[in-house]
Amino acid sequence: MAWLDDAGRKLVADAVTEAESATSGEIVTVLAERSDGYTDVALLWAIGAAFTAMSVFAAFPLPFLDAWDWIVGGWGHEWTTGELASMVIGLGLVKFLAVLLVQQWEPLKFVLVPSPTKTARVHAQAVRQFKVGAERRTTGRTGVMIYLSMREHRAEIVADASIASQVPAEVWGEAMGDMLSHIRKGRIAEGLAAGIRDVGFVLAEHFPRGSEDVNELPDRLIEV
């Protein structure tokens, strides 16, 4: 899914160019559809539901057995140990597949992912993207990545070593706040541009632009 049109992409790229005009720092922006598929989380929900169903059956078997007898025609019979075991396994398997299937609907799947898990996965993916696209790729190790993950509604600002040694992570809070205030209203490009301007202001304060500085990283928005 494309979150921005060409005008939005240009707005972001122009904001990067403008912000970098006053600093030797380099700003990279990444817009991600999602940071993880959360297959493991979906499996855990399905496994949990299956074991819960089997446990409830083991504790209260009669309602399940009466329901089954009614389904097959209302004739009751004496259940053998093998039949009971098969019923437990079958119930667990049906529950497992049903819960796994309903999580194919993306909105529900992401609702069921715990918030701390989303935060951790977005951070991990932002760091991976930074290592690939920005870390140590500038002469003075002055790269900063603004990473926005749409499905998780999370954002990260990751800085290279030279910047991190001089700028505490808390300083990026204002940039994050400005960015998210726009994005929450659906103005994604405007939010990214606001965050870029704030990051550029911090970089210009600590890493002013020199006469021989060159553009070492792309200004364009990277969409993944």
Q: What type of residue is 121?
A: R
Could you tell me the residue range of the domain that residue 100 belongs to?
Answer: 39-111
Q: Is residue 183 part of a domain?
A: yes
Q: For 102-140, what is each residue's pLDDT tens digit?
A: 999 989 999 999 999 999 999 999 998 888 766 666 666
| 153, 57: one domain | no
Residue 36: partners with Cβ closer than 8 Å, 6 or more residues away: 121, 122, 125
pLDDT over 90 percentage in the chain: 45
Q: Can you tell me the mean pLDDT for 168-197?
A: 89
> Which of residues 90, 111, 132 is at a domain's end?
111
Q: Is residue 126 part of a domain?
A: yes
| 125, 207: one domain | yes
Q: For 88-105, what is each residue's pLDDT tens digit?
A: 888 899 999 999 999 999
> Which of residues 64, 82, 111 is at a domain's end?
111
